Structure 1
Amino acid sequence: MVKIAVDAMGGDHGPGITVYGASLAMQENPELECLLFGEPKQVEEALPDFADPNRMEIIAADEVITDDDDPLRAVRRKKGSTIVKGLRAVAEREADAFVSAGSSGAIYAGGLFLIGADPEIKRPAAVSVLPTVSEASPYYMLIDSGANIAAKTEHLVEYARLGSRMAEQLLNIRNPRVGLLNIGSEPSKGNAFTKEAFQLLAAENELNFTGNVEPSVLLNGTHDIILTDGFTGNIMLKSVEGAAEILLNDLLRNVKKDGHLDENAEKVLAEAVETSIKRYTNEDIGGGFILGIKAPVVITHGAADAVMFKHSVEMAARLAHNPVFNGR
């Protein structure tokens, strides 16, 4: 059995989404158990009829860390919060992984403070698993997608090493292809940071480093890992998600405006667009996770719906089986 600690109060919608999503994950995964941290009455009221009480435990947590709180100060002071109690459960091996739609800053700080950093990584990074249009390589890992905006070039080498080991199990691939996000594919392109990072990555014989990658080809499925600093990565992540939703909805609007489709054709097209929107806005994947903490910590969108939260719990369960976390 895999046991996931769930912040039931985090996110924009609270237990109505998180508890239902966690229950969906348990319904589809009989080897999954959840510890639900939150206000007991609210959590109980949010439990759906199909929830299995034998595979969940409600643990009282009377405080919530908000986005307005200073992350590290809140972790230290709000010891009864859902984030702190959930992360502590993982640190004390009462759970195998943690999932939250709450304050990403507090989750990041709390993960380092309570669980501890992996010695292979000096500065932990955020990892987002993003979709491509390729059937052969449907996903890639973006590292760093927002945790460390002041990265050093040696950090990217560390991300490539540990990320490659993780990608083999998470993406089910061998010898992951690693690329460096840049404004051009030539080795001479970029600023001082990317040029130095290129040289360091190229010198790593155990990495399958293929060179620079331009943003325009990321959706083609030519790489399994894309490396960048957290500032650039976060901008790219939000650009991809936002552009996908805007463009796909615009496509649907223009087709409907044309007036040449019958009702059934419009319905089929609308369903196809909705499926694509869910894929490219990460609903089908769930959340991202932190690379460089000793146990799996998954952070999902504050606005996540129940399906996205379900997928986040499932990602946490997959990460719990990842060899990177074995022997922690």
Structure 2
Amino acid sequence: MKIAVDAMGGDNAPKAIIEGVEEARDLYPDLTFDLYGNPDKFTSMIKNHDRLNIIKTTEEIAMGEEPVRAIRKKKDSSIVRAANAVKEGNADAFFSAGNTGAVLAAGIFIVGRIRGIDRPGLTSILPITKPGAKRQSFVYLDSGANAESKEKNLVQFAYLGKFYAEKVLGVANPRVALLNNGAEEDKGDKLHKAVWQLLNAEEELNFIGNIESGDLLFGKADVVVSDGWTANAALKATEGTAKMMLTVIKDGILNGGLRAKLGYLMLKPVFHRIGQKMSTSTYGGAVLLGLKAPVVKTHGSSDPAAVKNTISQIRTMLKTGVVDKTVEFFNQNNE
């Protein structure tokens, strides 16, 4: 299995990308990597060239560039070349930590949508924080690819999330919920009320109803579906709350006197485990589901651990054939 890697994308590129790729290479003997970028900037960082192929590119897409214009203008950028490698069958998946919009645009316009999918959904894997929960994470989409969505798009997101939960996370008959402003059936605007009815009518979905944003991390559902605007706003609010709480706790320790500092030293292993559980490095990247091959975008500030874990996520997608399952389902439903 070959993964096309944008070696130039991300705040910590190319160093974090190269280190993470080498860690993944050493873990998985069935993976090979094509590294797209400027060799002058990262060749010296490579410790072992085994199963790493360097492909020279002459252009870079910066984090702040307008996405569609950038992929159309910069044909020899690492993002465009890597996406084209997947389109042409020279690689099985595309990985980047670069410009999110450019990666999404390259996925949609170059790699291409599965027939029957109107809009791919950006899919995040989020932690379940409830003590004693059977599972550690759940599927959340669309987390930002589409600011506006129609009813049928959310139904398609539900199936995309279902297949990912089954194949990649190993969840049998995953529970699907709709993100809404209340748990009752009649909550929400016209869109959400209509989607509730459509999801409830789908016999192949284990639809359990609405879920509120305050319950997202409590493990009440295995797949949470939403339009991109709502899901992205809820996700950022959740992340902001978590960061604020950590800041408050840190301030309490620093200004709480000797007793607080001693308490922190005793609880340091606990804080470490909590940090690992909540870290974006643990769960890999965001997947643009609904495309003809895996296109996975990890956070721009990703460290080598995040890169390695995201590559592990891509490997699982390839080995379990989640894209093939999606193609089969939507082809049958569009014959």
In structure 2, give the amino acid aligned to 1:307.
Answer: A
Residues 1:121 and 2:122 aligned together: no
Please report how far the alpha carbon of residue 65 of structure 1 lies from its aligned counterpart in structure 2 after TM superposition.
1.0
Rounded Cα–Cα distance in structure 1 between residues aligned with 2:57 and 2:312: 23
Rounded Cα–Cα distance in structure 1 between residues aligned with 2:230 and 2:170: 27
Distance 1:246 1:19, change over 3 A: same
Corresponding residue SS for 1:260: helix
The match for 2:152 among 151, 154, 158 is 154
**Cα RMSD, aligned residues only:** 1.8
Query: What residue number does 1:323 align with?
Result: 321
Q: Is the 8 A contact 1:61 1:80 kept in 2?
A: yes
1:156-205 superposed Cα distances (whole Å, 9 cap, x missing partner): 10111122122101111111100000111110111111111101111111
Please report how far the alpha carbon of residue 147 of structure 1 lies from its aligned counterpart in structure 2 after TM superposition.
0.4
The match for 2:77 among 74, 81, 85 is 81
Query: What residue number does 2:54 align with?
Result: 58
Rounded Cα–Cα distance in structure 1 between residues aligned with 2:93 and 2:226: 26
5 Å-filtered alignment, 1:260-279, equals 260=259, 266-279=264-277
Query: What residue number does 2:129 align with?
Result: 133
Query: What residue number does 2:308 align with?
Result: 310
Residues 1:14 and 2:10 aligned together: no
TM norm structure 1: 0.93
Residues 1:169 and 2:167 aligned together: yes
The match for 1:201 among 194, 199, 205 is 199
Residues 1:30 and 2:29 aligned together: yes
Q: Is the 8 A contact 1:101 1:300 kept in 2?
A: yes
Rounded Cα–Cα distance in structure 2 between residues aligned with 1:98 and 1:270: 38
TM norm structure 2: 0.91
Between 247-256 and 4-13, report the one with greater CA deviation: 247-256
1:79-131 superposed Cα distances (whole Å, 9 cap, x missing partner): 11000111111112221111111111111111111111012320111000000
Q: Is the 8 A contact 1:179 1:226 kept in 2?
A: yes
Q: Is the 8 A contact 2:23 2:308 kept in 1?
A: yes
Q: Is the 8 A contact 1:8 1:100 kept in 2?
A: yes
Distance 1:249 1:203, change over 3 A: same
1:188-246 superposed Cα distances (whole Å, 9 cap, x missing partner): 11111111110111111110000000112111111110011101111122222232233
**Percent of counterpart pairs with the same letter?**
38
In structure 2, give the amino acid aligned to 1:318.
Answer: T
Please report how far the alpha carbon of residue 133 of structure 1 lies from its aligned counterpart in structure 2 after TM superposition.
1.8
In structure 1, give the amino acid aligned to 2:6.
Answer: D
Please report how far the alpha carbon of residue 276 of structure 1 lies from its aligned counterpart in structure 2 after TM superposition.
2.2
Please report how far the alpha carbon of residue 262 of structure 1 lies from its aligned counterpart in structure 2 after TM superposition.
6.6
5 Å-filtered alignment, 1:92-111, equals 92-111=88-107
Distance 1:272 1:93, change over 3 A: farther
Corresponding residue SS for 1:321: helix
Please report how far the alpha carbon of residue 258 of structure 1 lies from its aligned counterpart in structure 2 after TM superposition.
4.6
Q: Is the 8 A contact 1:133 1:221 kept in 2?
A: yes
In structure 1, give the amino acid aligned to 2:91.
Answer: A
Rounded Cα–Cα distance in structure 1 between residues aligned with 2:208 and 2:116: 22
Rounded Cα–Cα distance in structure 2 between residues aligned with 1:42 and 1:271: 38
Rounded Cα–Cα distance in structure 1 between residues aligned with 2:273 and 2:176: 28
Query: What residue number does 2:178 align with?
Result: 180
Q: Is the 8 A contact 1:240 1:280 kept in 2?
A: no
Please report how far the alpha carbon of residue 310 of structure 1 lies from its aligned counterpart in structure 2 after TM superposition.
1.5
Q: Is the 8 A contact 2:79 2:96 kept in 1?
A: yes
In structure 1, give the amino acid aligned to 2:10.
Answer: G
Distance 1:61 1:275, change over 3 A: farther
Query: What residue number does 2:333 align with?
Result: none
Between 129-138 and 79-88, report the one with greater CA deviation: 129-138
Please report how far the alpha carbon of residue 67 of structure 1 lies from its aligned counterpart in structure 2 after TM superposition.
3.1
Residues 1:301 and 2:289 aligned together: no
